[in-house]
Chains A and B, each alone.
Chain A
Amino acid sequence: MRFILRRLGFYLIAFWASITLNFLLPRFMPGDPVSRMFARSQDRMQPEQIEALRKLLGVDDRPLWEQYIDYLHNIFTGQMGVSISRFPTPVTEVISSQIGWTLLLGGTALVIAAVAGNLLGILAAWRRGGAVDSVLPPVLVFIGSFPYFWLAMGALYLFGVVLGWFPIRHAFTAGLEPGFTWEFIGDVGAHLVLPALTIVLVSIGGWMLGMRNTMIATNSEDYITMAEAKGLRPSRIMLRYAARNAMLPSVTSFGMGLGFVVGGALLTEVVFAYPGVGYQLLNAVQGLDYPLMQGLFLTITAAVLLANFLVDILYVRLDPRVRSN
């Protein structure tokens, strides 16, 4: 319990830090980005909306601490202002319409990569020097060396443009009515294949090598020799004795991976014009849409912190050593 509370405290501090960063950035950056934004979009906005945005982004003459308290108050009551590029939709509405797509894409890719990568790692460590162990790691490390977005572009070109097997942009065919019909779900699935596949391709090597290296350390433990001496089936020793104990680092990576899901899918989303938060973040940056940018960054951070906290709770269940300390 103390462990959980300590972690919770840490995540709260981290979240506070990101809010403060968000508060300070537009106020201290050179070049006055906020005025630039206003110059661009003044004619479309009501005077009171401009006033609210000025407060949010710090273009007013009140003392800094007063602005800061106001800012914190706004964040915790969910007032993130109005999006400029999608005027006049509130920022919270824009974000909630898009976070689902990111979670779908990132979640699918993460689960596939983690499960397949760990299984391959277990196999590689169990048969040291076998086919899986000698061929796959270098190949996967080589694939992992390519820039993420470059592989995505390659896949897009090859399977989308040349072969035409998969759709090349967006999350579903335009004009199709979203809903729980087989047609729509199938369409979403088809749009998901290429982006998810490229993420899996790049990230699977890390999972595999991590698992392999921990497994190799676990395999030399005494209880493995003991299990072998008892004459247990090799598959049972491999999965129940060795892999089970080598899983812990992978659980931690899974937490880190979740952060990557929300934030790191950005490049993939951009290449495939996938309507998730990453794609929206880039659009916000290009459109000088500072309220949306800030809202997206805070949402992404909050999601990452929450995911890590959940993994910590899971960790307490899995590792008795954490509970006793």
Chain B
Amino acid sequence: MTTVILQQPGKAAGKTTAARKPNRSFVHGLLSNKKALTGMAVMLVFIALALLAPVLFPGDPSRITAMASLEPSPEHWLGTTAKGQDVLALTVHGSRSSLFVGLTVGFASTFIGILVGLASAYFGKFIDEALSLVTNVFLLLPGLPLLVILAAFLPPGLGTVILVLVVTGWAGSARVLRSQALSIRSKDFVAAAVVSGEGAGRIMFREILPNMASIVMGTLLACVIYGIGAQAGLEFLGLGDVSTVSWGNNLFWAGNEGALLTGSWWVFVPSGVCIALVAFALALINYAVDEVTNPRLRKIKTPKDTERIATK
């Protein structure tokens, strides 16, 4: 990024540098943050697994390949299910659907949240009142029962799961993004843009939005975590599309086939641990974003650290 600015000294007017600078220190802060690095490493591993699943375990993962309920062994690293499916293949293939749904739900709810939040903050008055009312109603309606009811009325399938999760998930991000957008809306440079006759869309997306990038990122991460967890919950209840392979469905079948009552813990542990690892990794990145942007939450330097800095 530095080189770009150096190559165009004439173009780097006051505004651009001022807008770029906090951004650069944000990325830098994130890359030097241990929590963020750990989280990103874990996420990369899972994304790689999801992409490589057809190569690592070719063919349909839910086909029956061995004896039923085998304990973990060199041939089947994580054992087999009560039907005789390979648990490792199911788990690796499950990451595809779970990550896909989680990311789609995350991006879609954050996108709606951005639209609603920006429109509320920019137009204010009646539009703000109306949008806030809808947001607050959706926030207050109990999420999980609403999920269950919607899933029961709609035809089962991956599309339904995504739709239902977005419907119940967007309101939280809208509220957070609205309050942030409101505080930026009252800044002088937005007033300047309004006076200079810039259009509504341009002010919302080019002036306000870039200045709340870190909040948007935090919201996105929280929404992805929500998406992955809620999908697993829905599918565990048998309300997803039980024919697809995903972590939630793996757990549904584990419960359905009584894996725990017969003591086959290896059927039920891997998918749950995977969901937890992904959620934890995303939460770590989220906390890191918080720490980088909110100096009060940063670790206090111990006396030793301060001495070291002093001697330097």
With both beta carbons as reference points, the residue of chain A lying nearest to B302 in the complex is identified as A129
The segment out of A84-92, A107-115, A171-179, A292-300 that lies at the interface is A292-300
Chain A residue with minimal CB distance to B301? A129
Contact, CB under 8 Å: A129 / B300: yes
- B144 on the interface (CB 8 Å rule)? yes
- A146-B272, A147-B272 known; A262-B142 Cβ under 8 A: yes
The answer to the question of B154 belonging to the interface, with a C-beta cut-off of 8 Å to chain A, is yes
Least distance between B248 CB and chain A CB atoms (Å): 8
Q: B260 to A157, Cβ gap below 8 A?
A: yes
Out of B229, B238, B268, which one reaches A286, CB within 8 Å?
B238
Chain B residues with Cβ below 8 Å from A217 are 296
B141 within 8 A of A: yes
Contacts of A264 in B (CB 8 A): 142-144
Is A324 an interface residue when CB atoms closer than 8 A count as contact?
no
**Bound form: Cα–Cα A10–B280 in Å:** 36
Which A residue's beta carbon lies closest to that of B150? A25
Contact A161 to B140, CB < 8 A, known contacts A33-B153, A129-B300: no
| Interface membership of chain A positions 33-51, coded 1 if the CB is closer than 8 angstroms to chain B and 0 otherwise | 1000000000000000000
* Interchain nearest-CB distance for A214 vs B (Å): 11
Residue of B nearest to A219 (CB): B296
A150 close to B143 (CB less than 8 A)? no
Q: Which of A208-260 contact B (CB under 8 A)?
A: 213, 216-217, 220, 259-260
- Name the residue on A nearest B262 (C-beta): A161
**Most chain B C-beta atoms within 10 Å of own C-beta, residue among A13, A144, A150, A300:** A150
CA distance A266 to B236 in the complex (A): 12
Cα A108 to Cα B136 with chains together (Å): 27
| Smallest Cβ-Cβ distance to B149: which chain A residue | A297
- Bound-state CA distance A262–B144 (Å) is 10
Closest-by-CB residue of A relative to B225 is A145
Within 8 A of A (CB), among B150-165: 150-155
The proximity string for B residues 265-277 relative to A, scoring 1 for CB distances below 8 Å and 0 otherwise, is 1001000100111
Q: How many A-B residue pairs have CB under 8 A?
A: 131
Hey, which chain A residues are within 8 Å of B145, CB to CB? 263, 266, 278, 281, 296-297, 300-301
Question: Which residues of the partner chain A approach B142 to less than 8 Å between Cβ atoms?
Answer: 259-260, 262-264, 300-301, 304
Residues of chain B within 8 A of A282, CB atoms compared: 148, 237
Nearest to A220 among chain B residues (CB) is B296
The main secondary structure of chain A at its interface with chain B is: helix
**Residues of B contacting A11 with CB < 8 Å?**
140
- Bitwise, A125-148 to B at CB < 8 A (1) or not (0) is 000110000000000011011111
Interface size for chain B: under 10, 10 to 19, 20 to 34, or 35 or more residues? 35 or more
**Is B261 engaged at the interface, CB distance under 8 Å to the other chain?**
yes
Instruction: Please judge, given known A-B contacts A150-B275, A266-B148, A281-B145, whether A26 and B140 are in contact too, CB under 8 Å.
Output: no
Within 8 A of B (CB), among A148-165: 148-150, 153-154, 156-157, 161
B223 contacts the other chain (Cβ, under 8 Å)? no
**Interface flag for B233 (CB, 8 Å):** yes
The answer to the question of A63 belonging to the interface, with a C-beta cut-off of 8 Å to chain B, is no
* Residue A80 interfacial (CB < 8 Å): no
Give the contacting residue for B233; candidates A147, A153, A157, A293; CB below 8 A. Answer: A147
In the bound complex, how far is the Cα of B143 from the Cα of A33, in angstroms? 22
Q: Is A203 in the interface zone, CB < 8 Å from B?
A: no
Residues of A within 8 A of B148 (CB): 266, 281-282, 285
CB of A12 to closest CB in B, whole Å? 11
What's the nearest-Cβ distance from chain B to residue A161, in Å?
Answer: 6
Q: Say whether B12 faces chain A, with CB atoms less than 8 Å apart.
A: no
Do A147 and B136 form a contact, CB below 8 Å, given A31-B155, A153-B255?
Answer: no
Cα distance A213–B255 in the bound complex, in angstroms: 38
Q: When chains A and B are docked, how far (Å) is the Cα of A23 from the Cα of B275?
A: 36
Chain B residues whose C-beta falls within 8 Å of the C-beta of A141 in the assembled complex? 280, 283, 287
CB-CB under 8 A for A147 and B229, given A14-B137, A153-B260 = yes
Please indicate the chain B residues that have their CB under 8 angstroms from the CB of A30 in the complex: 154-155
Determine whether A308 belongs to the interface, using a CB cutoff of 8 Å to chain B: yes
Residue of A whose beta carbon sits closest to that of B238: A286
Instruction: Tell me if A149 and B236 are in contact (CB < 8 A).
Output: yes
Q: How far is the CB of A37 from chain B (nearest CB, A)?
A: 11
Q: Do residues B136 and A14 form an inter-chain contact, with CB atoms below 8 A?
A: yes
Contact between A149 and B233, CB atoms less than 8 A apart? yes
For the complex, give the distance between the alpha carbons of A300 and B145 in Å.
8
- Cα A263 to Cα B282 with chains together (Å): 25
User: Which residue, A11, A14, A30, A308, has most C-beta atoms of chain B within 10 A?
Assistant: A14
> 15 additional contacts, CB 8 Å, given A141-B287, A282-B237?
A10-B133, A14-B140, A33-B153, A147-B272, A147-B276, A149-B233, A153-B251, A259-B142, A263-B143, A266-B145, A281-B145, A285-B152, A285-B239, A300-B142, A304-B142
Top 10 closest pairs, chain A to chain B, by CB: A263-B142, A150-B272, A145-B279, A145-B280, A29-B153, A146-B276, A285-B152, A145-B276, A157-B260, A14-B137
**A/B interface sample: 6 pairs, CB < 8 A:** A154-B268, A264-B142, A264-B144, A267-B236, A293-B149, A296-B145
Q: Which residues of B contact A (CB under 8 A)?
A: 133, 136-137, 140-146, 148-155, 225, 229, 232-233, 236-239, 251, 255, 260-261, 263, 265, 268, 272, 275-277, 279-280, 283, 287, 296-297, 299-300, 302
